[in-house]
Amino acid sequence: MDRQKEFVLRTLEERDIRFVRLWFTDVLGYLKSVAIAPAELEGAFDEGVGFDGSAIEGFARVFESDMVAHPDPSTFQLLPWTSDSGRQYSARMFCDITMPDGSPAWASSRHVLRRQLGKAAEMGFACYVHPEIEFFLLEPGPYDGSTPVPADDAGYFDQSIHGSAANFRRHAIDALESMGISVEYSHHENAPGQQEIDLRYADALSMADNVMTFRYLIKEIALKEGVRASFMPKPFREHAGSAMHTHLSLFEGEVNAFHSPDDPLQLSDTAKSFIAGILEHANEISAVTNQWVNSYKRLIHGGEAPTAASWGASNRSALVRVPMYSPHKTSSRRIEVRSPDSACNPYLAFAVLLAAGLRGIEQGYELGPEAEDNVWALTPEERRAMGYKELPGTLERALSEMENSELVAEALGEEVFDFFLRNKRQEWANYRSHVTPYELQNYLAL
Q: Which positions make up the binding site?
A: 132, 134, 184, 189, 196, 245, 247-249, 298, 304, 316, 336, 338
Instruction: Return the closest-CA partner of residue 221 out of 171, 176, 266.
Output: 171
170 Cα distance to chain centroid: 22
Alpha-carbon distances of 294 from 17, 197, 237, 390, 406, rounded to whole Å: 40, 22, 11, 18, 26
Query: Which uninterrupted H or E stretch holds 116?
Result: helix 109-122
Alpha-carbon distances of 409 from 214, 340, 344, 406, 418, rounded to whole Å: 28, 19, 18, 5, 8
Beta bridge pairs of residue 50: 68
Rounded Cα gap, residues 199 and 70, in angstroms? 27
If phi over 0 gives left and psi between -120 and 50 gives alpha, with beta otherwise, what is residue 180? Answer: left
99 Cα distance to chain centroid: 26
Amino acid (one-letter) located at 247: H
Residue numbering of the annotated binding site for Mg(2+)? 132, 134, 189, 196, 245, 336
Residue numbering of the annotated binding site for L-glutamate? 298, 304, 316, 338
Alpha-carbon distances of 110 from 69, 102, 207, 346, rounded to whole Å: 12, 15, 11, 10
Instruction: Return the closest-CA partner of residue 427 out of 291, 254, 313.
Output: 291
Q: Is 275 helix (H, G, I), strand (E, B) or coil?
A: helix
Residue numbering of the annotated binding site for ATP? 184, 247-249, 316
User: Do 431 and 297 touch, CB atoms closer than 8 A?
Assistant: no
Instruction: Return the closest-CA partner of residue 71 out of 96, 52, 36, 89.
Output: 96
User: Do 165 and 203 touch, CB atoms closer than 8 A?
Assistant: no
β pairing state of 320-322 and 335-337: antiparallel
